[in-house]
Amino acid sequence: MDLFAKLPALRGELLLCRGCLAPASHGEAGLCSRCWEGLVPLPEDRCPRCALEHGEDRDCPEPTAWSLGTALWDYHGGRPPFGELLLPGIKAGERGWMRALLHRAEEVPLPEWDADLIVPAPTTPWRRLRRGFDLADAFARVLAVRLGTPRATVLRKTWRATSQTGRPESQRRRMPKKAVLLKGEVRAKRILLVDDVWTTGTTLLRCAQALQSGGAKEIRVLTLFRALRNS
Ligand SMILES: [Zn+2]
Ligand SMILES: [Zn+2]
């Protein structure tokens, strides 16, 4: 029998991975297991403050206002780079991917940090409205359950930036000091500041500065992804 005659039947059985377009028999949320393996931790020898690899003997060149910072996964991990696929997809409303990602965030090892409050980096209200969800806050909820620590949405973003993707580094770093305002009590508290993806760190910096202005005792940063180089 001619192979071509069988093709329509074959096509009906094959599911293609939405990440790498390879046939996917195992996986989750339309992505094959090989793609999910791209969810990899950050390399070991990185700076404990900015989570970049800039050598141990150099002072951290990144502008930070926190003592320690890390992420669960490397944004550029895997082939195709999985964070680069997943995050824009989730932000475009791919709820299945978000659920699958948060499910993994419920199980991966976390840094052994004590905190009094978990504070998500804020998004602008219009953006939350448009997307119908807030990934940073969803991650904060996961952490609140895992760590048994209260979550507090004490930050408000006032600055309406257009998407940071595709903008030059110099522009991304330009964000007014009052872009993030504190609207809650953080005095003498140890804060775990969380966000979805940490790229230039400008939003995190403004968040941390707002927390500092309110007298936070200690600030540490944990994000889902760290972009280890500019892309
Ligand atoms: Zn795949
Ligand atoms: Zn550093």
Per-residue pLDDT of 10-24, as tens digits, reads 544 578 999 899 988
CA of 27 to the centre of ligand 1 (A): 8
Q: How far is the CA of 111 from the centre of ligand 1 (A)?
A: 29
First to last CA, the chain: 50
Centroid of ligand 2 to alpha carbon of 199 (angstroms): 13
What is the number of other CB atoms lying within 10 angstroms of the CB of residue 201? 26
Query: Which residues, by Cβ under 5 Å, contact ligand 1, an ion?
Result: 17, 19-20, 32, 35
Which CATH number among 3.40.50, 2.20.28, 3.40.630, 3.30.70 corresponds to the domain 14-226?
A: 3.40.50
- Asked whether residue 54 carries a pLDDT value surpassing 90, the answer given is no
- Global confidence as pTM: 0.87
129-178 pLDDT per residue, tens = 777 889 999 999 999 999 999 999 999 988 765 555 555 655 556 788 88
DSSP letter, residue 147: H
CA 106 to CA 173: how far, in whole Å? 31
Q: Answer whether residue 216 shows pLDDT above 60.
A: yes
**Which residues in 141-150 are b (16+ Cβ under 10 Å) and which e?**
ebbbeeeebe
Nearest ligand to the C-alpha of residue 49?
A: 2
pLDDT for res 2 = 56
What is the average per-residue pLDDT within 101-113? 96
Domain layout of the chain by residue ranges:
14-226
